[in-house]
A = this chain, B = another copy of it.
Amino acid sequence: MTTQRTSPSSTARRNETSRRAILTAAFELVQEVGYVKLSIEGIASRAGVGKQTIYRWWTSKGAVLFDAFLMLSEHPDGGGSALPDTGDLEADLKAVLRATVAELNDPRYDEPMRALNTEITHDPALAALYSERLDGPMRELKKQRLRNAQQAGQLAQDLDLDVAVDLLWGPLLNRWLQRSGALTPDYADNIVETALNGLRPRH
């Protein structure tokens, strides 16, 4: 009887294949059954792996789902995408916020993103991880676009860019999470215009 030796690189490849199958399964399954009914058993069954394989790498379904989001946010070139910069700040922000609206309204993302937000709401450790790995890098891209505009004199010189990001994206995320109104492209445009111009009259 011969034993077949596995080279380290083929083990790594197999692990990576399993990992991707598990994350894809988690992301698809939560869309179908909702987060409350999502289970490690269900993910394992759909991914075609044993439960123990999942528990070797993750401690909870929330942790699996978080890594599924990380995988989806990976870019082929290894970095995030910069926001569009045509020189027309208002048009660029409208395009980006409309894309956010489209993503939040996409039924494939709606339930998984609500699930992730629920976990973050109740778990400060996961919130810190989310801030560091997902929200932080995205926020930096947003601030970079605003910084360019600020240097071009299009934004107030004493503007706090974190507050600016919150004013632009906070209302969208809050309306989506609280379901307090329709999330439409017009709403995105209106937020951009009102945030840029301010509530006070401009003379």
Contact = CB atoms under 8 A, between A and B. Distances in A.
Contacts of A61: none
Contact of A173 (B114, B120, B157, B178): B178
A197 B196 contact: no
Interface string A166-200: 11011111110111110000010011001111111
A36 interface: yes
Given A114-B122, A156-B199, A191 B166 contact: yes
A137 to B, nearest CB: 13
A124 interface: yes
A13 interface: no
A120 B166 CA distance: 22
Chain A, interface size category, equals 35 or more
Interface string A140-169: 000000100000011111011011101101
Given A166-B171, A195-B198, 12 more contacts: A117-B178, A118-B121, A121-B177, A146-B199, A154-B201, A155-B200, A156-B199, A157-B201, A163-B187, A166-B174, A167-B171, A196-B198
